[in-house]
Amino acid sequence: MRVYLLVMLTAAAVTFLVTPLVRRLARLTRALTPVRSRDVHTVPTPRLGGLAMLAGLAVALLVASRVPFLDEVFSETSTAWAILGGAALVCLLGVADDIWDLDWMTKLAGQVLAAGFMAWQGVQLITFPIFGLTIGSSRLSLFATILVVVVAINAVNFVDGLDGLAAGMIAIGGGAFFVYSYLLTRDASPGNYANLATAVIAALVGVCLGFLPHNFNPAKIFMGDSGAMLLGLTVAAAAIVVTGQIDPATVNTTAVLPAYVPIVLPVAVLLLPLLDMTLAVFRRMRAGQSPFHPDRMHLHHRLLDLGHSHRRAVLILYLWTAVFAFTAVALAVIPTAYVAAGAGAAVVVAAVITYNQLPGLRGRRARAEVARHATAGPAG
């Protein structure tokens, strides 16, 4: 565990230190997010944050590869470097978009190429830890891998609409993923806890934690497409590695590690981004628009419309992410009946907070509204 925490801390430290340099670069290259009708920020803000994230991920994986504990998982295969290569490709694609605003077809083609590169290097969906299912065709495996990666990339990209939202959600969901991957490795190979997916997800969580101090409201820099696409690809890659490296026959499904959790957990981690993306695609296609046509009807916009502040809307989405992700993890270590009871209670609390009905909140909101009108009255 200490080695994984070292990887996480390395990623966080490098990302935190490099981000101010990237912010200066964004200003020099005019990679600024303008104030648009669908946005909530009030001044043009630097982007390109994905470059700092890529630096943190690269240094963390390099450090991990030099640690004797993890040397075997890095030396036996090139999977880690394939993931880093795919992350670099999609990050550079995002940099180009952050500077020149590429059209959606160009971005989609670049995403497919980055996902295809990873798959070509061996990061592929081949087996599912559910009843030992195996994809019988190499072409189908390649298609499934690219599809999963591209969907994850765009899911994170769609939800990146408020300061600190995407980074915080991936940090929370990734934290749950890290706990599960560590427990799964410990159960499957009791004598050796070294695991590539755990190291990659630890680095990813560290990257998000290092970027958040610069990105939380009010944000000094945005991650941009370069960061959002990097996060989506890396989460998908870690999930693919997990599903492919654990033999379902070695997992004790009757006690602590239900075999279906490796499939449920990545979906739970990205559930809100996936839901937001699905709703946006249907909404836009029904209106006769491109699925990538921007609008102001995302989940975070709806929370703002309910009267939540910028920070409160972000924290509410953090809460829902934690509920879904850690419920999925709990399925691996706690009896299902207890998980269901706990998850039900958590959903009720999260729903109450979402709709601003906790005792005292309505009164506080009303007093704030009265004060706002009292302040604005004389000026009018």
Domain boundaries, the chain: 1-293
Confidence of residue 203 (pLDDT cuts 50, 70, 90): very high
Whether residue 336 is predicted with pLDDT greater than 90 in this model: the reply is no
d(CA 302, CA 313): 9
% pLDDT > 90, the chain: 49
Give the contacts of 114 (CB within 8 A, at least 6 positions apart): 86, 89, 90, 93, 149, 233
pLDDT of amino acid 379: 40
pLDDT-wise least confident of 55-69, 161-175, 359-373? 359-373
173-191 average pLDDT score: 82
DSSP letter at 332 equals T
Of 326 and 260, more confident: 326
Helix (H) or strand (E) holding 342: helix 336-354
Whether residue 378 is predicted with pLDDT greater than 60 in this model: the reply is no
53-77 average pLDDT score: 93
Rounded alpha-carbon distances, angstroms, from residue 69 to 3, 6, 33, 252? 8, 12, 42, 25
48-75 average pLDDT score: 94
Of 163 and 131, more confident: 163
Whether residue 164 is predicted with pLDDT greater than 50 in this model: the reply is yes
Dmax over CA atoms of the chain, in Å, equals 73
Name the burial class of residue 56, with classes exposed (0-12), middle (13-18) and buried (19+) by CB atoms within 10 angstroms of its CB.
buried
pLDDT of amino acid 362: 52
Whether residue 251 is predicted with pLDDT greater than 60 in this model: the reply is no
Which two structure tokens, joined as six digits, stand for 125? 């969906």
pLDDT of amino acid 134: 66
Helix (H) or strand (E) holding 134: strand 133-134
Would you say 157 is a known binding-site residue? yes
d(CA 369, CA 357): 16
d(CA 180, CA 183): 5
Each residue of 70-112: pLDDT tens digit?
Answer: 988 898 888 999 999 999 999 999 999 999 989 989 999 999 9
d(CA 68, CA 140): 36
Nearest to 278 by CA among 147, 159, 368: 159
Whether residue 213 is predicted with pLDDT greater than 60 in this model: the reply is yes
pLDDT of amino acid 165: 93
Whether residue 63 is predicted with pLDDT greater than 90 in this model: the reply is yes
Pairing of strands 127-128, 133-134: antiparallel
d(CA 65, CA 83): 14
298-315 average pLDDT score: 84
335-345 average pLDDT score: 91
300-319 average pLDDT score: 86
Tell me the whole-structure pTM to 2 decimals: 0.86
pLDDT of amino acid 6: 96
Q: What is the mean pLDDT of the chain?
A: 84
Each residue of 112-159: pLDDT tens digit?
Answer: 999 999 999 989 887 665 555 666 678 888 998 999 999 999 999 988
% pLDDT > 70, the chain: 83
Tell me the DSSP string of 197-208. Answer: HHHHHHHHHHHH
Each residue of 3-18: pLDDT tens digit?
Answer: 999 999 999 999 999 9
pLDDT of amino acid 89: 97
pLDDT of amino acid 125: 82
297-326 average pLDDT score: 87
Whether residue 221 is predicted with pLDDT greater than 80 in this model: the reply is yes
d(CA 380, CA 375): 9
d(CA 210, CA 362): 35
Whether residue 43 is predicted with pLDDT greater than 50 in this model: the reply is yes
Whether residue 377 is predicted with pLDDT greater than 80 in this model: the reply is no
